[in-house]
Copies of this chain bind each other. A is one copy, B any other.
Amino acid sequence: MKQQHISDAVIRRLPRYYRYLDELHSRGVERISSSTLGKRMGVTASQIRQDLSCFGEFGQHGYGYNIMELRAEIGAILGVGAPRRLIIIGAGHLGHALLQNFDFVQGGFQLDTAFDIAPELIGTQINGVAIRSMDELDAYFDAYHPAVAVLTVPKSAAQEIANRLVALGVRGLWNFTNVELDAEDSVFVENVHFADSLLTLSYRIAKEPAVGGENA
């Protein structure tokens, strides 16, 4: 019940807390105060305390948080402890970059395999992960029921492939295609919009040298 009314904003902050606590933990740091954690995360200490109080009591007044404990709790909340099967659809440059460099285990998933339509890729491996033909997708779902599919396919193919994955029972789509996908409410779509990030940077830079008389 405690986890009922957690706002999107809190959910968005948890991964950052987790990542930073993970880094501290691996450096051997044992405790952190809400104000230090807040400073690093760019939020106030009281925001930190409020966010974490959604999930229970992790801190002690005057002693700060036990990093190992807090990391484990947030990890459990984020589902990192019980990794789920994940597949990649599209082993082009972006798919390849994820296969090569991304730590899916830390993100709470086990990377099983990737699918593509390019004959020169099918049957090869990238970083030890097999690339299969899209023709094998249905049989693969029947056998392994992967929870999440990463969409790194061209825009033009995105919606059709998403429909197919939804029909096969996928529960989440990690969408890199920059297409706003239509999907049933039962499927979670998490979009990575590079464009929004770059526009934010553009805004900050454009705003800075406002020396002249812009329409302010």
Binding site for B on A (CB under 8 A): 1-3, 8-9, 11-12, 14-16, 18-20, 23, 42, 77-80, 82, 84, 92-94, 96-98, 100-104, 106-109, 147-148, 171-172, 174, 180, 188, 190-208, 210, 216
Query: Are B108 and A194 interface neighbours, CB within 8 A?
Result: no
* Bound-state Cα–Cα, A97 to B23, Å: 28
Given A3-B216, A198-B190, A204-B94 contact (CB < 8 Å): no
Q: Return A162 CB to nearest CB of chain B, in Å.
A: 14
Can you name the residue of chain B whose Cβ is closest to the Cβ of A4?
A: B216
Query: Are B205 and A171 interface neighbours, CB within 8 A?
Result: yes
Query: Are B19 and A206 interface neighbours, CB within 8 A?
Result: no
Can you name the residue of chain B whose Cβ is closest to the Cβ of A98?
A: B194
A80 neighbours in B (Cβ, 8 Å): 199, 202
* Bound-state Cα–Cα, A92 to B93, Å: 8
Can you name the residue of chain B whose Cβ is closest to the Cβ of A83?
A: B202
A1 neighbours in B (Cβ, 8 Å): 216
Query: Are A199 and B148 interface neighbours, CB within 8 A?
Result: no
Can you name the residue of chain B whose Cβ is closest to the Cβ of A77?
A: B203
Query: Are A195 and B78 interface neighbours, CB within 8 A?
Result: no
Given A1-B216, A14-B199, A200-B15, A205-B94 contact (CB < 8 Å): no
A23 neighbours in B (Cβ, 8 Å): 180
Q: Return A47 CB to nearest CB of chain B, in Å.
A: 12
Q: Return A88 CB to nearest CB of chain B, in Å.
A: 12
Query: Are B97 and A92 interface neighbours, CB within 8 A?
Result: yes
Query: Are B193 and A19 interface neighbours, CB within 8 A?
Result: yes
A180 neighbours in B (Cβ, 8 Å): 20, 23
Can you name the residue of chain B whose Cβ is closest to the Cβ of A100?
A: B93
Query: Are A194 and B192 interface neighbours, CB within 8 A?
Result: yes
